[in-house]
C-alpha cells in the first residue's frame, strides 16, 4: 500500500497511474498494472532509528519516513526559495507552491488533467495523455497567468514522479539505481548505471537534508554531455521507471530525495541551472517540453523500447520513400568536402541498379575558387564543380534511379559570407551585439529570416529536384539571446521554438522531402528532433573501431529506423574490415560512404551482398524489438575489447548483429530458446555459423570481426 491516501487512479494500458493525497497536496506516481498486490506496508516513522531516537525523545518529535512532493512544481521571481539546504541544488519546493489549491481533475478522451490555482491568478494544468496500445505516457504542465499583472517565471517542471520505489517498505538499501546516457562528440550514448548511494542520494538520518542530482543542457545542442533521459530502477522488485524530454534545446532533469522515496522530475532549465526566467503576460500560457514517461517490469532496455516509440507514433511526416527503409550513400567520407560532378558520377554509375535509393551531396557543393563569398550562409552553387548547374547533375542521378540529396547548414553563417556582411539585421544578438562563435546565427523569430531561407533553401531544393535534405548544425549557442520576455536563456528558447516552426514550414512546402537531422553527428538525438526528421545521424564516428558500440547505444535512445550509421569502405580494406563496417550499419540505417568506385570486384561483391541482405532485414529494423548483450573487457570506446551482440526480433525472425573487438573469443554461442533455422548470413568465409542444441554457434572470430545472422524460430 502507499503511505498516503489515494485520491484517484487510472489504468492506462499496462500501467496504472496514481494520484496520492496528503491534506490538500497531491503527488503523482505510476506502477505496472497487476503489481498492486505487491505494494508492502511502508514504515511511517524514523523516530526509533539509531540516529533519530535520541533527539526524538528529547524534543518529543517525530521524523516521518515518507514526505510527499507536489506533483506540480514552479517558482515565480520574488517568492521564497525552498528550504532544507535546497537552494543552489534545486528550486523544487519553493514558496510559490504555498496557496496553490486543487481545483479539479478531469478525464476526457485519453487524457487526464489535474488543475490547480491560487488567489493570485496563477493556474496550472498537469496533463497525462495515453495512446492506446503504447507503452508510454506523454506528460506536461502548463501555467497560465490569469492575473492583471506580468509575472516572471524562473522554474517549471514538465513532469514529476514521486514515491519511488513503492515496492520497498523502507529506504531500499542497496536496491536502487539511476540510469543516464552520456554523450560527447563522436562518443554518443554511453550508458551509466549508478547506485543511488554512489550518487549521494542516500537519505539523510533525519530527512532534513535534501538530496539532489540535477543535470541538463544549457546550449542549443541538447544531446551534449547527456541525453535528456533519466531512469530509476528498483533492482529488488525488477521495475524501472524513466522519462525522456522532447526538447529541441536546453533542458533539466532531477532526482531528488527527502526521505525514503525518490522523485524524478524535469523540464526547461531553471534560473539556477540555466539562468532562465520568462515573463508571463496577463492571459499568457506557457508549458515546458513534453515528457515521455513509462514504467515496466523489466530492465532499462525494456524501458527504452517503450520510450523510443514516441517519435514514430507522433512523427510530423511519413514520407513514402521511407516505407521500406532504403540504403543511403553519402559522399562526405569520399570527397571530404570537395564533391563535384566529375568525382561523383563514377560512384553513381557503380551503385546504379543495386538498391541504393538516396545519393547525398555533403558539405562543399557550394564552394567556388574564384569567389570571395562562399560557404555557409550564401550557399552559391559552384559552377566549376557542376557545369550546367546542379539541376543537370540531379537529373543524371534521377535517370540512374536515385533520389538526390544535399547537405545544408542553414541556421548559421560564416565570416566572409554575403549574409554576414550585407544582412546583419537577420542575425541573433546578445547584449545588442551579434552573437559570435566561429559562426553567426540567424534569428528565426524574424520573418525576414524565413523569407531569406525560403529563397536560399526551399527554392533551391525545388528547382534542383532534391528529395533528401541532410541538415547539419555544428556550432551551439551557449548563454542565450536578447529578448524582452525574460533572460537570455528565454531568448534562446524562443529562437529554438521558432527553428522548430520553420522545419514544420519546410515540411508543408516539400511534403515528400526526407529530412536527416545531424548536429556534429549526434547532438540532436532527442525525441522531438526525431519526430521532426526521418532519420538522425548517429555520430561523427566515421571509420573508428568504436562505431558498433556507439551505433548499438544510440539505437537504445532513438528509434532504430532513424539511427543512420556510417559504413565507410576503403580500397585498402580486407574482407574482415569490410564486414566489420557493413555489419555495424545493420544497427540502424545503413549509410555507405568511402571509395566506392575504387573497390575491387571482390570488395564490391561484399558491399552489394550487404545491401541486398539489408533489404531482407529492413522489416526487423522497422518493427522489431532489440536486446543488447555485451561483454567488454575494456572501458575504452576507441579501443574496445570483448564482444557485443544485438538481437532484433520481429514475429518469428531474429537478426543478430555480432561484433568481436580486441581480444574477442574465437567462439560465441547465443541461446535461441527453441528450434530455429538460419535464413541468411553476412560474414567472411573464415567464420562458421551453425545451430546446435537450441543455440546459434559462431566460431572463427578474430579481433574486429563483424557479421549478421538472420534466423527463423
Residue-wise pLDDT for 182-202, tens only, equals 999 999 999 999 999 999 999
Domain count of the fold of the chain? 1
How far apart (Å, rounded) are the C-alpha atoms in residues 155 and 152? 10
CATH code of the domain covering residue 216: 2.70.98.60
Q: Does 509 reside within a domain?
A: no
Residues 6 or more apart whose Cβ sits within 8 Å of residue 579? 606, 682, 683, 684, 705, 706, 707
pLDDT tens digit string along 453-475?
Answer: 999 999 999 999 999 999 999 99
pLDDT number for residue 695: 94
Whether 202 maps to a domain, the answer reads yes
- Residue 454 in any domain: the answer is no
The stretch 365-369 carries a mean pLDDT of: 73
- pTM greater than the 0.75 cutoff: yes
Residue 553 included in any domain: no
Q: Considering the domain boundaries, does residue 699 fall inside one?
A: no
Instruction: List the domain range (segments joined by +) for residue 293.
Output: 7-38+45-307
Using 50, 70 and 90 to split pLDDT, how confident is the model at 253?
A: very high
Range 89-104 average pLDDT: 94
* 519 is a domain residue: no
- Write out pLDDT tens, residues 571-629: 999 999 999 999 999 999 999 999 999 999 999 999 999 999 999 999 999 999 999 99
pLDDT at residue number 374: 59
Is the bond into 514 cis (omega within 30 degrees of 0)?
Answer: no
Grid coordinates representing 112 are 487526464
The number of angstroms, rounded, from the C-alpha of 440 to the middle of its chain's C-alpha atoms is 26
The confidence score (pLDDT) of residue 368 equals 57
With contact defined as beta carbons under 8 Å apart, do 108 and 122 qualify?
no
Please tell me the predicted confidence (pLDDT) of residue 236: 98
Choice among 67-71, 82-86, 375-379 with the minimum mean pLDDT = 82-86
For the chain, percent helix, then strand, then coil, each to nearest 5?
20, 35, 40
Alpha carbons 513 and 255: distance in angstroms, whole number: 40
Q: What is the 3-state secondary structure (H, E, C) of 207-268?
A: CCCCEEEEEEECCCCCCEEECCEEEEEECCCCEEEEEEECCCCCEEEEEEECCCCEEEEEEC
Residue 370 has pLDDT above 90, yes or no: no
Percent of the chain with pLDDT over 90: 89
pLDDT digits (tens, 9 = 90+) for 98-110: 999 999 999 999 9
Please tell me whether residue 404 adopts helix, strand or coil conformation. strand
Q: Give domain status of residue 313, yes or no.
A: no
- What is the structure's pLDDT at 673? 83
- The set of cell numbers assigned to 459 is 527554392
Question: Rounded to an integer, what distance in angstroms lies between the CA atom of residue 460 and that of residue 466?
Answer: 8
On whether residue 636 sits in a domain, the answer given is no
Query: φ and ψ at 266, to 5 degrees?
Result: 170, 175
Amino acid at each position: 500500500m502507499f503511505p498516503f491516501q489515494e485520491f484517484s487512479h487510472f489504468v492506462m494500458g499496462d500501467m496504472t497511474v496514481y494520484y496520492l493525497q496528503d491534506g490538500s497536496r497531491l503527488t503523482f506516481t505510476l506502477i505496472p498494472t497487476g503489481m498492486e498486490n505487491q505494494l508492502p506496508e511502508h514504515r511511517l516513522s524514523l523516530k526509533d532509528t539509531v540516529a533519530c531516537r535520541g533527539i526524538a525523545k528529547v524534543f518529543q518529535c517525530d521524523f516521518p519516513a515518507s514526505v510527499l512532493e507536489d506533483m506540480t512544481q514552479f517558482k515565480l521571481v520574488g517568492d521564497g526559495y525552498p528550504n532544507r539546504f535546497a537552494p543552489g541544488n534545486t528550486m523544487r519546493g519553493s514558496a510559490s507552491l504555498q496557496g496553490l489549491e486543487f481545483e479539479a481533475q478531469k478525464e476526457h478522451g485519453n487524457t487526464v488533467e489535474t488543475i490547480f490555482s491560487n488567489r493570485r491568478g496563477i493556474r496550472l494544468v498537469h496533463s497525462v495523455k495515453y495512446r492506446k496500445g503504447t507503452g508510454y505516457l506523454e506528460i506536461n504542465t502548463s501555467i497560465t497567468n490569469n492575473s492583471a499583472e506580468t509575472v516572471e517565471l524562473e522554474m517549471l517542471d514538465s513532469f514529476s514522479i514521486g514515491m519511488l520505489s513503492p515496492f520497498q517498505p523502507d529506504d531500499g538499501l542497496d536496491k536502487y539505481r539511476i540510469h543516464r546516457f552520456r554523450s560527447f562528440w563522436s562518443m554518443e550514448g554511453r550508458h551509466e548505471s549508478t547506485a543511488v548511494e554512489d550518487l549521494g542520494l542516500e537519505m539523510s538520518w533525519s530527512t532534513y537534508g535534501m538530496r539532489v542530482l540535477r543535470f541538463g543542457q544549457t546550449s542549443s545542442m541538447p544531446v551534449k554531455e547527456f541525453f535528456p533521459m533519466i531512469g530509476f530502477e528498483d533492482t529488488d522488485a525488477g521495475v524501472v521507471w524513466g522519462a525522456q524530454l522532447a526538447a529541441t534545446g536546453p533542458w533539466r532533469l532531477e532526482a531528488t530525495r527527502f526521505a525514503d522515496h525518490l522523485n524524478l522530475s524535469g523540464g526547461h532549465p531553471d534560473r539556477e541551472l540555466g539562468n532562465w526566467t520568462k515573463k508571463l503576460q496577463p492571459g499568457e500560457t506557457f508549458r515546458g517540453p513534453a515528457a515521455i514517461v513509462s514504467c515496466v517490469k523489466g530492465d532499462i532496455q525494456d524501458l527504452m523500447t517503450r520510450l523510443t516509440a514516441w517519435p514514430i507514433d507522433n512523427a510530423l511526416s511519413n514520407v513514402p520513400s521511407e516505407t521500406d527503409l532504403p540504403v543511403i550513400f553519402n559522399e562526405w567520407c569520399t570527397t571530404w568536402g570537395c564533391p563535384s560532378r566529375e568525382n561523383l558520377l563514377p560512384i553513381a554509375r557503380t551503385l546504379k541498379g543495386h538498391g541504393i535509393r538516396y545519393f547525398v551531396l555533403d558539405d562543399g557543393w557550394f564552394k567556388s575558387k574564384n569567389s570571395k563569398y562562399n560557404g555557409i550562409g550564401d550557399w552559391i552553387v559552384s559552377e566549376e564543380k557542376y557545369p550546367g548547374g546542379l539541376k543537370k547533375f540531379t537529373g543524371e542521378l534521377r535517370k540512374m534511379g536515385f533520389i538526390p540529396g544535399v547537405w545544408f547548414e542553414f541556421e548559421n553563417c560564416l565570416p566572409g559570407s554575403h549574409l554576414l556582411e550585407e544582412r546583419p539585421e537577420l542575425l541573433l544578438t546578445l547584449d545588442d551585439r551579434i552573437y559570435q562563435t566561429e559562426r553567426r546565427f540567424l534569428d528565426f523569430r524574424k520573418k525576414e529570416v524565413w523569407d531569406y531561407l525560403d529563397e536560399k533553401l526551399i527554392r533551391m531544393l525545388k528547382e534542383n529536384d532534391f528529395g533528401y535534405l541532410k541538415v547539419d548544425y555544428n556550432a551551439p549557442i551557449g548563454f542565450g539571446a536578447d529578448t524582452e520576455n525574460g533572460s537570455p536563456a528565454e531568448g534562446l528558447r524562443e529562437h529554438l521554438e521558432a527553428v522548430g516552426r520553420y522545419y514544420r514550414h519546410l515540411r508543408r512546402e516539400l511534403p515528400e522531402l526526407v529530412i536527416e537531422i545531424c548536429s556534429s553527428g549526434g547532438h540532436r538525438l532527442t525525441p522531438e528532433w526525431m519526430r521532426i526528421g526521418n532519420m538522425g545521424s548517429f555520430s561523427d564516428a566515421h571509420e573508428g573501431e568504436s562505431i558498433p558500440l556507439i551505433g548499438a547505444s544510440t539505437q537504445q535512445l532513438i528509434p532504430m529506423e532513424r539511427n543512420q550509421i556510417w559504413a565507410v569502405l576503403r580500397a585498402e580494406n580486407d574482407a574482415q574490415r569490410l564486414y566489420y563496417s557493413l555489419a555495424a550499419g545493420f544497427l540502424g540505417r545503413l549509410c555507405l560512404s568511402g571509395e566506392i568506385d575504387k573497390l575491387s570486384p571482390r570488395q564490391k561483391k561484399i558491399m552489394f551482398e550487404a545491401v541486398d541482405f539489408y533489404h531482407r532485414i529492413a522489416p526487423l529494423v522497422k518493427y522489431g524489438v532489440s536486446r543488447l548483450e555485451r561483454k567488454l573487457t575494456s572501458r575504452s570506446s576507441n579501443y574496445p575489447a570483448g564482444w557485443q551482440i544485438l538481437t532484433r526480433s520481429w514475429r518469428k525472425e531474429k537478426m543478430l548483429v555480432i561484433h568481436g573487438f580486441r581480444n574477442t573469443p574465437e567462439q560465441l554461442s547465443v541461446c535461441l530458446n527453441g528450434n530455429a533455422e538460419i535464413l541468411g548470413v553476412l560474414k567472411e568465409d573464415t567464420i562458421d555459423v551453425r545451430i546446435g542444441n537450441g543455440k546459434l554457434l559462431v566460431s572463427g572470430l578474430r579481433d574486429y570481426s563483424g557479421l549478421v545472422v538472420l534466423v527463423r524460430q
